[in-house]
Amino acid sequence: MGGEGPTMERLIRDLLKEMGEDPAREGLEKTPTRVAKAWEYLTSGYRQNVHDVLNEALLTEEYDEMVVVKDIDFYSICEHHLLPFFGKCHIAYMPSRKIVGLTKLPRLVEMFARRLQVHERFTTQVSHTLEAVLQPRGVTVVVEALYMCMLMRGVEKQNSKAVTSAMLGAFRENAETRAEFMELIRARGGLLI
Ligand code: ZN
């Protein structure tokens, strides 16, 4: 976007030099351009907002049952190491009057994932956005992720998987509602849990 390409390319060229590489050698010649493009895509969530992603898909409906969308794949970048973390996000909410088109939930997840993130903030951003926009009786978001920064750096391998959850409203107050949701997301051949 607007002029950041060349700056980013220059920075990547400098980064390659700092690594002890020769940015002019054949294999690396186009790398700064490719990396700049990749980062533009991986951080495209900064140039989107909730309004663009959700608002046109909001419906008013008398619907009482729990709405569940599970196994939403996401890929994000940890803000501590600029390395990927990825996994699955599970969302449920108890509508009050507003519901949102189901295909929009993965897009919301994607919008927040395509920014530099930490697991906990990512989980909170998704849940708080849904709470604010839908004003549901309850919302819960569970995020399971695998951290490349842990795996690749060879540290804390046993802790490279992380699960966080946010429970709001009915999910926080009602153990039965919470259990129903956990049951639903476990009823699968889970990748990570
Ligand atoms: Zn990290």
For the chain, domain boundaries: 7-42, 52-186
Residue 169 pLDDT class (50, 70, 90 cuts): very high
What CATH number has the domain spanning 52-186? 3.30.1130.10
Ligand 1: centre distance to CA 161 (Å)? 12
DSSP tag of 13: H
Ligand 1: centre distance to CA 78 (Å)? 5
Residue 4 pLDDT class (50, 70, 90 cuts): very low
With a pLDDT cut of 90, the percent of the chain lying above it is 65
Mean pLDDT of 5-18: 92
For the cut 80, the answer to whether the pLDDT of residue 160 exceeds it is no
CA distances from 130 to 49, 70, 84, 95, 104 (A): 13, 15, 25, 10, 11
- Amino acid identity at 18: E
Taking the C-alpha atoms of residue 70 and residue 67, their distance in angstroms, rounded to an integer, is 10
Mean pLDDT of 159-181: 87
pLDDT at 22: 97
Ligand 1: centre distance to CA 122 (Å)? 14
Ligand 1: centre distance to CA 1 (Å)? 26
pLDDT at 183: 85
Ligand 1: centre distance to CA 159 (Å)? 12
Ligand 1: centre distance to CA 118 (Å)? 8
With a pLDDT cut of 70, the percent of the chain lying above it is 92
Residue 76 CB-half CA count within 13 A? 31
Ligand 1: centre distance to CA 53 (Å)? 27
Q: What stretches of the chain show up as alpha helix (H) in DSSP?
A: 4-18, 31-42, 50-54, 104-113, 119-134, 148-152, 170-173, 175-186
Instruction: Tally DSSP H helices, then E strands, for the chain.
Output: 8, 7
Q: Is 189 helix (H, G, I), strand (E, B) or coil?
A: coil
Q: Is 56 helix (H, G, I), strand (E, B) or coil?
A: helix
Residue 159 pLDDT class (50, 70, 90 cuts): low
Mean pLDDT of 153-178: 83
CA distances from 181 to 8, 69, 126, 142, 172 (A): 43, 10, 17, 10, 12
Ligand 1: centre distance to CA 85 (Å)? 8
Taking the C-alpha atoms of residue 151 and residue 87, their distance in angstroms, rounded to an integer, is 14
Ligand 1: centre distance to CA 90 (Å)? 22
Ligand 1: centre distance to CA 149 (Å)? 5
The residue whose two tokens read 């400098």 is 14
For the cut 70, the answer to whether the pLDDT of residue 133 exceeds it is yes
pLDDT at 62: 84
Mean pLDDT of 45-51: 95
Give per-residue pLDDT as tens, 68-118: 999 999 999 999 999 999 999 999 999 998 999 889 999 999 999 999 999
Ligand 1: centre distance to CA 84 (Å)? 8
Q: Using N-to-C axis directions, what is the helix angle for 4-18 and 31-42, rounded to 10°?
A: 120
Ligand 1: centre distance to CA 151 (Å)? 10
Ligand 1: centre distance to CA 137 (Å)? 34
CA distances from 157 to 74, 92, 149, 160 (A): 21, 30, 10, 5
